[in-house]
Structure 1
Amino acid sequence: MDNEQPTNLHDSSKPEGRAIKGRGAASNPEGRFETIRHHAEDDGWSHELLDETAPRPRTEVTEERARSVISRNDSPDIHFTQAINPYRGCEHGCIYCYARPSHSYLNLSPGLDFETKLRAKSNLAEVLRIDLAKRGYVVSPINIGSNTDPYQPIEKRWQLTRAALQVLAECHHPCTIVTKNALVERDLDILVPMARENLVQVFVSVNSLDNQLAAKLEPRASAPHRRIKTIRTLSDAGVPVGVLVAPIIPALNDKDMEAVLAQAAEAGACCAGYTTLRLPYELKALFREWLALHAPQRADHVMSLVQQMNAGRDYDSDFATRMRGQGVFADLLRRRFDIASRRHGYGRARELKLDSSRFVPPRKPSPQGDLF
């Protein structure tokens, strides 16, 4: 459970970091498992802390050899039981990302480290084959991108998501994909044949149509209009695609909900869903800092509404309410979403009845190769 009060909370009117172009987080606070805390203090001799020309943090990718790559989920509010995440951390830098606190398990910060110090599971395809070939493996759709985006910028070089799709396509294994990057179009040569066999569904996340806001909220993701175009491209190619208006942040991007649903439907989205902002663990302080830097005049109002939807707290981990919130404002969002969904002919996002009957386990490596 993650209802405990976070460490390093500070007044939203006094940001500790500075805005960095191309990055979501403004600072690098220690994770909750660290016992030593560091705090930079300007002694007047150097202005490096406030220097806008200071070098921007670069993205570093470390190769990781995974032992297994399929994670299991039994949360009652999540509609899949299996997932693959080719990367740890995400270069998109979305300040609201609920996965940021997971970087603490690597002794890295959920702040800038999460979007600059990434891990790539270089043996993903190899281990996936082993996992799928295990005796007793039970087939159910695998979600790609449940924690971090499988098509974040480093995928261009590493191509781990593509490698995973190739294995799944070869085995006729069903999967779903969640992304906010147009790079998913690169893999149409795999996705289209899978779609013909009812083996894949893609969800594109679009939470605003405001390019300026998106550039601050999710600085290295594809622009909103480009994601709408991606929905059209996938739909025209015959790949079933839905739109996720996620997360909705009250008094910040909720005004765009109906417009996103309308444009996505016109582009060919067949279903839609939404979630509200979730602020587990260290994310509470990081998001407050972001508000103080980028929306100081409405910061208190945003957090007041967030708390109204979370039983008076910044975050409530109750499975029954954590995705949609509770209270008057949450009910208003729900009604708005339902009305817009009916107007545009789709309901809440849900997994298609993907076909699991075609699955053929991968062959184990053999010295005799494919002779028999």
Structure 2
Amino acid sequence: MGLKLGKQMRVRLKYFSEDVDRHDNVRCYVRLPGKRKVRIHALPGTPEFLEEYQAAIAAAAIAPMRQANESKKDSLRYLCIRYYASAAYRALDGSTQNWQRRALDEIAREHGAKPVATMQARNVRRIRDAKIETPAAANQRIKALRAMFSWANEAGETGVNPTIGVKKLKYRSDGHHTWTDEEIQRYYDRHPLGTQARLALDLLRYTAGRREDAPRLGRQHIREGRVRFRQAKNEHRNPIDIDILVHPALAESIAAAEVSNRMIFLLTEFGKPFTANGFGNKFKDWCRQADLPRCSAHGVRKATSTALAEASATPHEIMAITGHQTLEEVERYTRAASRKKTADAAMRKLII
């Protein structure tokens, strides 16, 4: 069976099925081979539907691991499994769930059989330092362990918290590369209007969305000349709703790609919605095709923030576009723009 998207498209989702009850109501399910089917209550084609679908797939994948480790109730692996099934973990947005699970599963592959009760801060430092060559990944291990043990202490799963007192590694990083105007033009030259690659960049650029946001956007988010959507990041804990004018360049890109009737604008080559990771990887491919190996989806968001600051937008105006909740990060862009203008003015005086 498939997921209906508009009048002309039907996307087939793996393990997805439908049936009709005695009242002629269509019921949607996910059913993996050998597993009990899981009911999906959200309306097909909506972000909520995709979240329930992905959660059902993930829950089925956890089951074999739970059975294999059920006897080791004092182990680190068992604690991870309990955390994945918790309300606290399920309340996290999808991208946070993904990186936490990747980090914890990697740790558990090496240390999963060890008893939690004997873990100490020095053990966590060793786990951190095993990734010392990639400090960002090392710090993600600390963050993931900290989140899990914080939940475990509150839930009464364990009385120890070996992450207390363990600091993250200090390192210098400028984060994701901010796209330049020249790089945006090079991308446009390689991916002209009408291509999905071009539409992807325009969705990111003119909504200041993240890689989790762009693949969720569709016709239902474009109404009365405005783009309205809820950002994926922290949507279950601290939701941010964006309501901005549709930029003329974005409207042109959507029209040229002939996707204005779709519930989801961007689809894979198999006609399925992108996951956040899948879209990020595909976007990197499009960047490499344009000879832009440093560029990424998040770098577009930074470029939009920079462009707004250089156009003299106030921090609060930028926040209304980007969805930032504090002035601190936004002011980095406005301070940099102010320094640039001040330096230009100073150089003009020097030349004179």
Q: TM-score, normalised by structure 1?
A: 0.29
Name which one, 1 or 2, has greater alpha-carbon Rg.
2
Q: TM-score, normalised by structure 2?
A: 0.30
Report which structure shows greater RCO (CA 8 Å, sep ≥6). 1
